Chains A and B, each alone.
Chain A
Amino acid sequence: MMNLTLKIWRQKNADDKGKIVDYPVSGISPDMSFLEMLDVLNQELIEKGEEPVAFDHDCREGICGTCSLYINGRAHGPQTHITACQLHMRSFNDGDTIYIEPWRANAFPVIKDLIVDRSAFDRIQQAGGFISVNTSGNTQDANAIPIEKEHADKAFDAATCIGCGACVASCKNSSAMLFVSAKVSQFALLPQGQVEATDRVLNMVKQMDAEGFGNCTNTGACEVECPKGISLENIARMNREYLAASLKG
């Protein structure tokens, strides 16, 4: 069993200034997930009549992209290619001090404690992250459309982005380009996405800039911290798509 000191960002609401608060926790099993450890802490806080720590979570199996914790200076904690909910306490040592903070970016304002508002991603998606399909019943079966294997694989890889925001949180510029480029790429690589390709990339980049995300300076931190391993190649593809679309427009 492990005894730990947690340094957790507490913030009552969006207007509160917020601060780091220390919480000692004991009897933590190395087999617990990180979120289960927070559940233990919250149970103790509730029993003491204190406000539990608010944090986002849903599937707890690395699929939904809801959990969003900056743990000991890294998005989703010290391991790579996993989300915070897939992180286990065996990654830490007895006696460790662990910093737990929310994603930091102006475009992701803190709602409460460790929960941030990631609706900026939703608005970027609404600006163009879709294809228009006739659903009257005469829609062509997607499996009947021949797609080059390499393109299908790359589109699938891009589509594995769960929109957790770790890319923004890790980037020193709070850039959202890895997320946006994954969404642009997954359609740009497929024939169904070609019809709206020009408008898509222009509108999504425009919305991304309007949300206040920073500029990409190609540090590659986003790629390293992305739980799904979304490649920087997608950003290069988005750049190509954007430049070509700008020339057309």
Chain B
Amino acid sequence: MSGIFKSSVGRKFAMALSAFFLMIFLVMHVSINFTSVFSEELFNNMSHFMGTNPIIQGLMQPILIFGVVFHFIMGFVLEIKNKSSRAVGYAKNVAKDNSTWMSRNMLLTGAVVLAFLVLHFYDFWIHEMTVKYVQGDMSGLVNPNDADSGYRYYDELREKFVSPARVIIYVVSFILLSLHLLHGFNSAFQSVGANNKYVKSLKGFSKVYSIGVPALFVFIALFHHFTH
């Protein structure tokens, strides 16, 4: 058991587990964000709950960060090992005839998503951590000294999407995330050994998920950009 994650199969399994965790997180994230489209109050309340709940902040958030870091580091480590397993390449190789572009470029799409996450953390997460844990303001209010000033989350969200450049970066990043998921969703099932008639029926759902979730994120960004 101890050597399982040193093996090729074990590393695939670990990658898949982190992928499942991140895919579930994406659903939760987009669900909360989508409330901002139709209800400022609901979005603010959910954001405040997520941002101040001790279980989410103290337990789930560190697990999430570990999952993200693990997925990226393991992805890079596997890619380096895989590249080094063929020292001499082919003079002519027509990979497009036997595999999809998405499946061959998971590192590229993953790297773009990673770059996006740096911007995303800069935009939201670092700001949140600074306000809550450096400045000590856990109120979530626009003005911490004025209880009637209302929560700040909705206004901050809309403010971020004023910039066309930032919106374009978001849109491009989520298109790349979609391409990443179009291969990654089914690949994760395969890696944990789930490839049978029941899992194959998930293929339709995988396309809906892989296109639908990023599309919702794009919609939210565009909605706030054009209605600001």
Whether chain B is bound by chain A comes out as yes
Among A104, A175, A249, max chain B CB count under 10 A is at A104
Q: Does A34 contact B (CB under 8 A)?
A: no
Q: How far is the CB of B108 from chain A (nearest CB, A)?
A: 13
Q: Does A247 contact B (CB under 8 A)?
A: yes
Q: Mark B77-100, 1 if CB is under 8 A from A, else 0.
A: 010011011111111111101111
Q: Does A43 contact B (CB under 8 A)?
A: no
A232 touches which of B4, B11, B106, B195 (Cβ 8 Å): B195
Complex CA distance for A249 and B92, rounded to whole angstroms: 44
B193 to chain A: which residues have CB within 8 Å?
Answer: 236-241, 243
A-B pairs, 3 with minimum CB distance = A240-B193, A236-B195, A73-B94
A106 to chain B: which residues have CB within 8 Å?
Answer: 84-87
Interface size class, chain A: 35 or more
Q: How far is the CB of B189 from chain A (nearest CB, A)?
A: 8
Query: Is A242 within 8 A of B9, CB to CB?
Result: yes
14 pairs, CB–CB < 8 Å, chain A vs chain B:
A74-B98, A99-B91, A172-B99, A206-B7, A212-B85, A214-B81, A215-B12, A215-B82, A219-B98, A219-B103, A221-B95, A235-B190, A239-B191, A243-B10
Q: Does B183 contact A (CB under 8 A)?
A: yes
Smallest CB gap from A11: residue in B? B88
Q: Does B24 contact A (CB under 8 A)?
A: no
Please list the residues of chain B having a beta carbon within 8 angstroms of any beta carbon in chain A: 1, 3-4, 7-13, 78, 81-82, 84-95, 97-100, 103-104, 106, 183, 186-187, 190-196
Q: Does A208 contact B (CB under 8 A)?
A: yes
Q: How far is the CB of A245 from chain B (nearest CB, A)?
A: 9
Q: Does A7 contact B (CB under 8 A)?
A: yes
Q: How far is the CB of B142 from chain A (nearest CB, A)?
A: 47
Query: Is B95 within 8 A of A172, CB to CB?
Result: yes
Please list the residues of chain A having a beta carbon within 8 angstroms of any beta carbon in chain B: 7, 9, 20, 70, 72-74, 78, 99, 101, 104-107, 170, 172-175, 177, 205-206, 208-209, 212-221, 224-225, 232-233, 235-243, 246-247, 249
Contacts beyond the supplied A73-B93, A218-B191, A239-B190: 6 A-B pairs with Cβ under 8 Å: A104-B86, A174-B86, A205-B9, A209-B8, A236-B193, A243-B192
A241 to chain B: which residues have CB within 8 Å?
Answer: 193
B92 to chain A: which residues have CB within 8 Å?
Answer: 7, 72-73, 99, 101
Q: How far is the CB of A21 from chain B (nearest CB, A)?
A: 11
Query: Is A232 within 8 A of B190, CB to CB?
Result: yes
Complex CA distance for A78 and B78, rounded to whole angstroms: 30
A177 to chain B: which residues have CB within 8 Å?
Answer: 8-9
Q: How far is the CB of A109 from chain B (nearest CB, A)?
A: 10
A249 touches which of B1, B85, B195 (Cβ 8 Å): B1
